């Protein structure tokens, strides 16, 4: 078995609050996994339990085949990067990184070499004598990363590692972190509420909601095959549509059945532009246009639903109030707990015609 970190039937309460409900997770060695969910969904609790900062009420935490429930966090071979980094503010960068090694009574000469090595890894050479308050946000994050890595942990845990950094630096750091972790081949788990972050950085994503694990899988799997209605709504820019039976060719069986529509499921055509789906498209009015830099987000009103779609900036522009043709390729149909991807039936027919 290749699974390095395994959580089995974990339950955790904080007084009356059920923070983790039958959580089952397994993360293979060397993978970079993201715990993704809205705030209060229990993702940080899971991370803290793996680190030994919280104890589960029931269930097993297994690291490298060993049940670690009763082993203190410091002996689980874990490096932890805190959300606000928790750098020791009265210690220099050097002493921060050296702290874990000094605790382990590593000879001072080795410590010096290791700190030097890590400082060059995070490209912060020469910052040895700075205090955390004298560093930029990005530098602090890197130092926190180096401090967590100093004692050579087998697992790296990161709690919202990019939350405290401004947008521009965040994008750089994401790429940097992914490169670092891939290079070091260390099993890593990070917590985030930002799906873009999870999709971009993680090999595997574990989606949590209300204390439960909704689905685990690669970003592609979550995107194309959401297992639960929550995942379908949470991933992508999803819009719920109740009256989807009003859309041409789509049928609805049952009053409580709803659907979810994503921008990439929809195509907006200028009048006359549409050749392929001329017969099956519907007419709608453009309500809003948002310039996104690389593309335009076009919002159209269709049967009382405000539907988003994107148009390339190389295509002829549309205007607000303009009548356009809208074609819906597919949508997720949700019936209770079941979810199904339904394609527009006309696709088959028209492709035959053309």
Partner 1 sequence: MEIRHDGGALKWILVTICFIFLAVFLLLPLGYIVATALGKGIEAYINAITDEYAIKAAMLTVEATIWAVTINTIFGIAAAWCLTKFAFSGKKILSTFIDLPVTVSPIIAGLIYVLTFGRQGALYSYLDSYNIQIIFAVPGIVLATIFVTFPFISRELIPVLTAQGTDEEEAAALMGAGTFTIFRKVTLPHIKWALLYGVVLCTARAMGEFGAVSVLSGHLRGKTNTLPLYIELLYQGYDFTGAFAASSLLVIMAVVVLILRLVLEQKGKKNLDIRK
Residues at the interface with partner 1 (CB under 8 A): 51-53, 73-75, 78, 80, 82-84, 86-92, 99-100, 103-104, 131, 134, 147, 151
The answer to whether 11 and 57 are in contact (CB under 8 A) is yes
Nearer to partner 1, 53 or 341 (CB): 53
Contact in structure between 298 and 310 (CB atoms under 8 Å): yes
Min separation Cβ 111 and partner 1, Å: 13
Angle made by CA atoms 132, 138, 144, in degrees to the nearest 5: 55
Query: Minimum CB separation from partner 1 for residue 319, in Å?
Result: 52
Q: How far is the CB of 85 from partner 1 (least distance, A)?
A: 8
The least distance separating partner 1 from the CB of residue 260, rounded to whole angstroms, comes to 38
Residue closer to partner 1 by CB (options 131, 176) is 131
Nearest CA to 53 among 92, 23, 14? 14
Measured in whole angstroms, the distance separating CA 48 from the mean position of its chain's CA atoms is: 18
Our CB check for partner 1 shows the closer of 153 and 263 to be: 153
The structure tokens listed for 194 are 């930002």
Q: Closer to partner 1 at the Cβ: 99 or 176?
A: 99
In the bound state with partner 1, the residue whose beta carbon lies nearer, of 91 and 257, is 91
Backbone angles phi, psi at 276, to 5 degrees: -60, -45
Among residues 65, 81, 110, 92, the alpha carbon closest in space to that of 180 is found at 81
Tokens coding 120 = 């060059």
Cβ-based nearer residue to partner 1, 95 or 295: 95
Residue 52 or 59: the one with the smaller Cβ distance to partner 1 is 52
Cβ atoms of 307 and 300 within 8 Å: the answer is: yes
Rounded to the nearest whole angstrom, what is the least distance from the CB of residue 77 to partner 1 in the complex? Answer: 11
CB–CB of 87/95 below 8 Å? no
Smallest gap from Cβ 86 to partner 1, in A, equals 3
What CA–CA distances, in Å, run from 121 to 116, 129, 145, 146? 9, 17, 10, 8
Which is nearer to partner 1, 53 or 342 (by Cβ)?
Answer: 53
Are 19 and 42 in contact by the 8 Å Cβ rule? The answer is yes
CB of 264 vs partner 1, minimal distance in Å: 40
As measured in angstroms, the least distance from the Cβ of 192 to partner 1 is 18
Residue 50 burial by CB count (10 A; 0-12/13-18/19+): exposed, middle or buried?
A: buried
């Amino acid at each position: 078995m290749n699974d390095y970190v395994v959580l089995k039937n974990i339950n955790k309460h904080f007084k009356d609050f059920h923070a983790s409900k039958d959580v089952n997770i397994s993360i293979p060695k060397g993978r970079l996994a993201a715990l993704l969910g809205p705030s209060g969904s229990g993702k940080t609790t899971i991370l803290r339990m793996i680190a030994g900062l919280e104890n589960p009420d029931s269930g097993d935490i297994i690291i490298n085949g060993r049940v670690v429930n009763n082993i203190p966090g410091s002996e689980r071979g874990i490096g932890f990067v805190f959300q606000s980094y928790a750098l020791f503010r009265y210690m220099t960068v050097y002493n921060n990184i050296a702290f874990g090694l000094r605790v382990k009574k590593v000879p001072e000469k080795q410590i010096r070499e290791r700190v030097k090595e890590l400082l060059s890894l995070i490209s912060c050479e020469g910052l040895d004598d700075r205090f955390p308050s004298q560093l930029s946000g990005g530098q602090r994050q890197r130092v926190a990363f180096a401090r967590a890595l100093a004692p050579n942990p087998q697992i790296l845990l990161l709690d919202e590692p990019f939350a405290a950094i401004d947008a521009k630096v965040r994008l750089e750091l994401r790429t940097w972190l992914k490169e670092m972790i891939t290079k070091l081949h260390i099993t890593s788990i990070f917590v985030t509420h930002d799906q873009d972050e999870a999709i971009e950085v993680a090999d595997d994503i574990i989606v949590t909601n209300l204390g439960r694990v909704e689905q685990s899988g690669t970003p592609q799997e979550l995107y194309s095959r959401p297992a639960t209605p929550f995942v379908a709504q949470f991933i992508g820019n999803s819009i719920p549509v109740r009256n989807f039976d009003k859309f041409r060719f789509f049928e609805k069986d049952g009053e409580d059945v709803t659907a979810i529509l994503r921008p990439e499921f929809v195509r907006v055509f200028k009048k006359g532009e549409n050749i392929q789906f001329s017969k099956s498209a519907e007419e709608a009015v453009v309500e809003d246009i948002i310039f996104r830099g690389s593309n335009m987000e076009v919002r159209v009103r269709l049967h009382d639903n405000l539907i988003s779609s994107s148009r390339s900036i190389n295509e002829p522009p549309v205007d607000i109030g303009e009548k356009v043709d809208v074609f819906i390729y597919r949508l997720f149909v949700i019936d209770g707990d079941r979810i199904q991807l339904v394609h527009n039936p006309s696709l088959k027919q028209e492709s035959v015609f053309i």
